[in-house]
Amino acid sequence: MNCTETTRVCTSFLAFKPQPNQTLAVIKSMFDILPDDITVEGNGRDYMFIRKNCSCLSTIKKYVTDTTFTVKSNEGLVYDLVMEAYDGLAFLSNTTRRAKHGAVISLRLFCGCSSGLWNYLMSYVMKDGDSIESLASRFGVSMDSIEAVNGISNPDNVTVGSLYYIPLNSVPGEPYHLENDIPPSPASAPVPTPSVNSFSANGLNHKARVPYRWIVGGLGVSFALIVLSIVVYFCLASSKCFAEARRKHTKDADDKNSYKFQILRKPSFCCGSGRYICGKSGDCKQTSGESSHHQITVPKALATDVFEMDKPIIFTYEEILSSTDGFSDSSLLGHGTYGSVYYGLLRDQEVAIKRMTATKTKEFMLEMKVLCKVHHTNLVELIGYAASDDELFLSYEYAQKGSLRSHLHDPQNKGHSSLSWIMRVQIALDAARGLEYIHEHTKTHYVHRDIKTSNILLDSAFRAKISDFGLAKLVGKTNEGEVSATKVVGTYGYLAPEYLSNGLATTKSDVYAFGVVLFEMISGREAIIRTEGTMTKNTERRSLASIMLTALRNSPDSLSMSSMKDYIDPNMMDLYPHDCLFKLALLAKQCVDDDPILRPDMKQLVISLSQLLLSSVEWEATLAGNSQVFSGLVQGR
């Protein structure tokens, strides 16, 4: 499908029939989607309909969407594996690169954007037995519509294995449910089988001889007990609520209301997704201050997908204390804005635990409220929380490789190897996807307000996750796209000029900070650079953004980058595609534009970075034999 609107982004669908070895986890990885992006077809056809954002690629003037494919074999060619896995939906240059287990391949999928006559277009690969007539009946559209979209003049002349577009006005298929998540219907519920004796003549005669007054008396007593139970329950609830209200609204010395978080006498842990705690077994124990015998049972059939389930996990304070070795200095990972962060080993799972004083109740509750709702592979996952008499604790998934900042700025002295070009682009794309999610795809849209390299964490495979969502750093976005802030929060060097001047945070202020992060990844320098003054001995502070913008003004294209040479991270040892680095620098330049309207949104940045990653992988393929580049790729994936 030809296209020219390169700035347009639409929602599209891809019809995909999984192979027996393609589990839900594999499919989500193949298409880079969440379970909510999948619907399924009934009638035993077993098709999945994948929802993806679609856009026009300027170089080929076709509608495509980007994804990645993880190679699971050491045999054959990458091209053949990709074509077989996606069954006609994928587009990949016919590379002769050999398959290597664990390698991640960037590729494109064919999609389509409707001209306006229909709400969606769905990519469908024609199979044996399919016809225009059967597809029209199957998806509830007219044959004329399918023929018009695909430019078909003869409906009998279709090619098996070719891709066609199905015009749709509604989302195809039905919501996807795990088999064990679907409760049995009332019709299928087992009906208790009455005993034979209950139908015997003696049984009937016995019931007939029961005195009527006994029946009436029994019903009366039962009714009285029920009424008494209800009265007692409401009395207890009212007294509890009244006591709690008195505690919450106590007067302080200045006769002002002091709203205090009611700390549990016996600390407990709850409201977590349980992704990491439940990852190894089917049964997850749950403990509270009152009992240690309550359990959550996870069906074994769901073991592969338990990471997507929001199961409340409860831990005792003693477990948290023990997991951090009593909050020893050896477990300390660092100090954040609102508390210290410790490494912990909780039920054989690595976690990061933020320790806060009870005076940070507002920040604690806000982060809890948001992160219990926001889940994405590129956002650090909140596992749970705990409270004691004077301390609050938040537990997150542990990022084994630490922060992006520690890998960019003087990595050797911090015990880290330098990041390769491919790794940097992949990390930028991961972070962009996390930001796009909170900006566009959550029920309530959010602005982070403190995007920086120290808040972008790296897991064991160097995949990026955005962290630190506390104290109004994640703020609900209004219909106008702006949020009023009582004060400017964040880190200097990353703050957008309009945010500094009027305190209004928008998604575009996050984009500005992300542009500074891109400049850091290109240069390896800090967001604020301190230099000795030329005329005085005083230290001058300049923003990295202003320095990089000056260098770019003197570099009109990627072939004349001499003015930028001094600002490219020497740790990359000149092992990068010059055109791709120049494009990334231009992206960063757009992000830090003084006019927020001229900055791209995160959706556009995800598309651009996906294309950059694909171009970088193609560049890397031309350097076969350069072990330095390929070792970086392997470490980064």
Mean pLDDT of 499-518: 91
- Position with higher pLDDT, 534 vs 278: 534
pLDDT at 484 over 60: no
Highest mean pLDDT among 228-232, 303-307, 580-584, 621-625: 580-584
Same domain for 322 and 339, yes or no, is yes
> Which residues, at least 6 apart from 552, have a Cβ–Cβ distance to it below 8 Å?
564, 585, 586, 589
Q: Do 426 and 313 belong to one domain?
A: no
Instruction: Say which residue, 331 or 239, is predicted with more confidence.
Output: 331
The more confidently predicted of residues 512 and 341 is 512
Q: What pLDDT is recorded for position 22?
A: 85
Q: Is 450 a catalytic residue?
A: yes
Going by the annotation, the residues of the binding site are 354
Domain boundary among 124, 159, 176: 176
Residue 79 has pLDDT above 70, yes or no: yes
Residues 384, 293: one domain?
yes
- Do 430 and 372 belong together in one domain? no
Active-site hit among 66, 450, 468, 593: 450
Whether residue 208 lies inside any domain: the answer is no
448 and 392, same domain (yes or no): no
pLDDT in tens, 136-179: 988 989 999 999 999 888 888 888 999 999 999 889 988 876 54
Q: Residue 86 is encoded by which pair of tokens?
A: 């996606």
**Do 129 and 45 belong to one domain?**
yes
Structural domain includes residue 257: no
User: What was the pLDDT predicted at 465?
Assistant: 95
Q: Is residue 2 part of a domain?
A: no
pLDDT at 257: 34
Is residue 275 predicted with pLDDT exceeding 60?
Answer: no
The domain boundary residue, chosen from 176, 195, 215: 176
Report the percent of the chain where pLDDT is more than 70. 69
Position 250 in a domain = no
pLDDT band, very low/low/confident/very high, at 521 (cuts 50, 70, 90): very high
Task: Tell me if 214 is assigned to some domain.
Answer: no
What integer pLDDT is reported at residue 501 of this predicted model? 86
Q: Which domain holds residue 68?
A: 9-176
Task: Name the residue with higher pLDDT: 582 or 415.
Answer: 582
What is the percent of the chain with per-residue pLDDT over 90, rounded to a whole number?
A: 24
**CATH code: domain of residue 582:** 1.10.510.10
Mean pLDDT of 319-325: 81
Of residues 418 and 223, more confidently modeled: 418
More confident call, 121 vs 563: 121
pLDDT tens digits along 176-206: 765 443 333 333 334 344 443 433 334 434 3
Q: Which two tokens stand for residue 633?
A: 């790729």
Identify whether residues 369 and 471 lie together within a single domain: no
What's the half-sphere exposure (Cβ side, CA atoms, 13 Å) at 149?
27
pLDDT, mean over the chain: 74
Classify residue 325 as exposed, middle or buried by CB count within 10 Å of its CB (0-12, 13-18, 19+): middle
Say yes or no to pLDDT of 117 above 50: yes
Which residue bears the tokens 């600002």? 567
The pLDDT assigned to 427 comes to: 97
Query: Does residue 506 sit in the same domain as residue 536?
Result: yes
Give yes or no: residues 378 and 428 share one domain: no
> pLDDT tens digit string along 341-358?
888 887 778 888 888 776
State the CATH number of the domain containing residue 50. Answer: 3.10.350.10
The mean per-residue pLDDT over the stretch 40-68 comes to 84
Q: Is residue 534 part of a domain?
A: yes
In a domain, 326, yes or no: yes
Question: How many structural domains does the chain have?
Answer: 3
Q: What would the mean pLDDT of 306-314 be, rounded to a whole number?
A: 42
For residue 617, pLDDT over 60 is answered with yes
Q: What is the mean pLDDT of residues 563-589?
A: 89
Residues of the binding site for ATP: 354
Q: Does residue 253 belong to any structural domain of this protein? A: no
Q: Is the pLDDT of residue 210 over 80?
A: no
Give first-to-last CA distance, the chain, whole Å.
Answer: 33
Q: Per-residue pLDDT tens for 407-452?
A: 998 787 777 878 999 999 999 999 999 999 988 888 778 888 889 9
Beta-carbon contacts of residue 123 (< 8 Å; ≥ 6 apart): 12, 13, 14, 15, 89, 109, 110, 111, 112, 163, 164, 165
Two tokens, residue 258: 């002091």
Annotate 506-552 with DSSP letters as a single string.
EHHHHHHHHHHHHHHHHH---SEEEEE-SSSSSEEEEEHHHHHHHHH
Task: Assess whether 144 and 17 both reside in one domain.
Answer: yes
Q: Which of 397, 431, 458 is the last residue of a domain?
A: 397
Indicate whether 375 and 483 sit together in one domain.
Answer: no
Q: Is residue 454 located within the same domain as residue 579?
A: yes
